[in-house]
Structure 1
């Protein structure tokens, strides 16, 4: 079972994990489809992907490799997915998008799917659409009966910092975070952004950090959120995985990776500070980038977070529902 540090009365109300099939039309819930921090694959956790269920509709929030399979395990059909939100364009968060688009096309889902994401999302989707063309023209091999033109099945809305839009009866707000450290206003900063997302639904607010380092903007976005879904990095544990899987990694590359892990992600101490400053009512930790579960190490994370943040905390597993 996932490890929990309880604030007993609050925990039962705020952090209820159950199969996604228990979703009711009256309630919004957040399903952690894939909880592994990429890009190294895991035998026990799928790549980063999440599902926001709101009534009968479903929204993918990041779409890592294996997302379609995880949707099936969660009991959600592709036609239920109304939109996809991408926090940033690293492959571990987008690798499953080709399957989502391709299988919708192959199964003749007629509704146009909207993909929301940072600058560069249109180029990403255009490339996926181009890769779908040969199969769509062939269809099921019946002469004169191709599938729908792939470009007609998807549309893209690119988002920047502090975007605010209404989607399916909820308000979605973005904040540019610190997963990248390009100079503000630079060409790189304009071209490449990593976003955190806030979903304000009737009676409930959910904030998804995506990948980020410590960020005052994310703290403001998460102010008084009912649920904060945060990434978390174990730098030492992740570097151990790297040493085992890439023993010949050149030292300059190792140093670059270490810089990335320590500045562009959140440690347990950082997660605690974010949740405390934001006044979040409950925290779910995902993007668990330390490899296989280790009960002693997990207990240490929760103890560290609990020194600063006194609310309920859960380290998610794939297909948990909150």
Structure 2
């Protein structure tokens, strides 16, 4: 079984009730954080976990809302890991990730220096191990396998989606993207697809062109559901709601998805959990 927790279901627009985009996946005793939007560590604490327990940080792309708390994750893991000679945190993302991680550590350089000067057991900066990929296998440890494929969030490029597999169960985290064949292929036959969504019908009503611009590089609820249907996944898990789901309108969002996808549809607030078991898929139609 793989457990998916929507740690943060928000968007770039600050929301008092929704943290920034981030998803926690637990598989085979391992814990993967997918993206690290604002407030991610508070949400991680709410499920009884901490940065020091992460097996790896997986980044779908380098948009600010998806990496806003990268520094907090790196520093907090460093100062809350008390085992001697702790291994570095694996960070897996698209090309450009290493540059962003280096710049983040440089931005926290004064803080890192203060802590090394104050604590005898901190002898070096936060240990990290960055791996950049656009396609193929990226992780294989203790019966947990992860592979990635490119997605389409242009002009943001490159962007990737992750497929996590364990014990016959599988979960795909799409990140921000429009429908594309590479995501269809990665998600084919998966137990669940975690997909970011926007309501284009609502965004198109807004006066600001800069906000309406987001419609051309995100999937609508219907488009995400159609991707899930083509791939034959068992569960569609919606997240990163733009705009935020207004109280009492949850069934409207569900109905839009159900028009394209006739299996289990999950959406909700931060900390919503979904269990994904082996065999939760159908034959792909794409």
Normalised-by-shorter TM-score class: 0.7 to 0.9
Whole-Å Cα distance in 1 between the matches of residues 28 and 99 of structure 2? 31
Whole-Å Cα distance in 2 between the matches of residues 198 and 309 of structure 1? 20
1:310 and 2:262 equivalent?
yes
The change in CA–CA distance for 1:146 and 1:137 in structure 2 (over 3 A counts) is: farther
Comparing both chains, which one has the higher relative contact order based on Cα–Cα distances under 8 Å and sequence gaps of 6 or more? 1
> Structure 1 length normalisation: TM-score?
0.78
Tell me the matched-pair count: 270
Q: What secondary structure sits across from 1:211 in the alignment?
A: coil
Q: CA deviation at 1:62?
A: 0.8
> Is contact 1:44–1:292 with CA below 8 Å preserved after alignment?
no
Whole-Å Cα distance in 1 between the matches of residues 263 and 169 of structure 2? 17
Whole-Å Cα distance in 2 between the matches of residues 130 and 113 of structure 1? 17
1:235 and 2:188 equivalent?
no
1:78 and 2:30 equivalent?
no
In the alignment, structure 2 segments of 5+ residues that lack a partner are 275-286
Q: CA deviation at 1:194?
A: 0.9
2:122 maps to which of 139, 147, 158:
147
Q: What secondary structure sits across from 1:42 in the alignment?
A: coil
2:107 maps to which of 119, 123, 131:
131
The equivalent of 1:200 in structure 2 is 165
Whole-Å Cα distance in 2 between the matches of residues 201 and 228 of structure 1? 15
Q: CA deviation at 1:173?
A: 1.6
Q: CA deviation at 1:200?
A: 1.5
Whole-Å Cα distance in 2 between the matches of residues 302 and 138 of structure 1? 50
> Is contact 1:108–1:147 with CA below 8 Å preserved after alignment?
no
> Is contact 1:87–1:196 with CA below 8 Å preserved after alignment?
yes
The equivalent of 1:288 in structure 2 is 241
The change in CA–CA distance for 1:232 and 1:292 in structure 2 (over 3 A counts) is: closer
Query: Structure 1: which 4+ aligned runs deviate by more than 4 Å?
Result: none
Whole-Å Cα distance in 2 between the matches of residues 45 and 222 of structure 1? 26
Cα deviation, 1:92-115, whole Å, max 9, x if unaligned, reads: 101111001111222345221010
Whole-Å Cα distance in 1 between the matches of residues 268 and 41 of structure 2? 19
Give the structure with the larger helix fraction: 1
The equivalent of 1:9 in structure 2 is none
In the alignment, structure 1 segments of 5+ residues that lack a partner are 1-26, 183-191, 244-248
The equivalent of 2:145 in structure 1 is 171
Q: What secondary structure sits across from 1:139 in the alignment?
A: helix
Cα deviation, 1:103-151, whole Å, max 9, x if unaligned, reads: 1222345221010000110000001111233222222764x83733225
The change in CA–CA distance for 1:91 and 1:238 in structure 2 (over 3 A counts) is: same
The equivalent of 2:4 in structure 1 is 30
> Structure 2 length normalisation: TM-score?
0.87
1:321 and 2:273 equivalent?
yes
Q: CA deviation at 1:263?
A: 2.1
> Is contact 1:138–1:146 with CA below 8 Å preserved after alignment?
no
> Is contact 1:35–1:287 with CA below 8 Å preserved after alignment?
yes
Q: What secondary structure sits across from 1:63 in the alignment?
A: coil
